[in-house]
């Protein structure tokens, strides 16, 4: 189930660019691949289970690689090959940034973040119940 009805926040390491896995993306594919990683990570966080299908992953990567946007009164077009999209997807898996489980894709960090959010939500509910009972 999607959480599209509200904005959620997740922790983002301020030094993620120093992470070995992110460094591999930077060296092999540049900042565009890192941007795609964070874009897909955001999409994963919007899912109750933190997982997206392979088709969704492919679509998110392609969306980031093939776009036309106006920029300063001129048209900026970025188009990359489908081979590049496949290479970036493979790099996400080979580095361990994402992994496949039950025909879906996720990351350890997304799963951890969602579990933490669920625990905090549970604690707030319990605190609210206790507060209500105390009145």
Q: What is the pLDDT of residue 69?
A: 57
| DSSP assignments along 15-35, one per residue | TGGGSHHHHHHHHHH-HHHHH
Q: What is the pLDDT of residue 124?
A: 85
Strand-by-strand arrangement of the 99-101 sheet:
52-53, 104-106, 99-101
For the chain, the structural domain boundaries read 16-134
Q: What is the pLDDT of residue 56?
A: 96
Q: What is the pLDDT of residue 2?
A: 47
Q: How far apart are CA 40 and CA 45, in angstroms?
A: 9
Q: What is the pLDDT of residue 43?
A: 95
> For domain 16-134, which architecture applies?
Orthogonal Bundle (1.10)
Q: What is the pLDDT of residue 45?
A: 92
- Can you give the pTM of this predicted structure? 0.78
Residue ranges for the chain with pLDDT beneath 50: 1-3
**Tokens standing for 53?**
């299908």
Express each pLDDT in 48-85 by its tens digit: 999 999 999 999 998 888 765 555 555 555 566 678 88
């Amino acid at each position: 189930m999607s959480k599209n009805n509200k904005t959620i926040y997740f922790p983002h390491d301020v030094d993620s660019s120093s992470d070995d896995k992110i460094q591999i993306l930077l060296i092999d594919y540049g900042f565009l691949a890192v941007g795609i990683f964070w874009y897909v990570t955001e999409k994963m966080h919007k899912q109750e289970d933190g997982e997206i299908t392979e088709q969704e992953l492919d679509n998110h990567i392609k969306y980031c690689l093939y776009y036309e946007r106006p920029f300063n009164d001129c048209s900026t077009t970025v188009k990359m090959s489908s081979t590049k999209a496949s290479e970036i997807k493979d790099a996400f898996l080979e580095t361990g940034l994402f992994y496949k489980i039950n025909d879906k894709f996720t990351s350890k960090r997304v799963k951890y973040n969602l579990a933490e959010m669920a625990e905090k939500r549970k604690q707030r509910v319990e605190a609210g119940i206790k507060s209500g009972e105390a009145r």
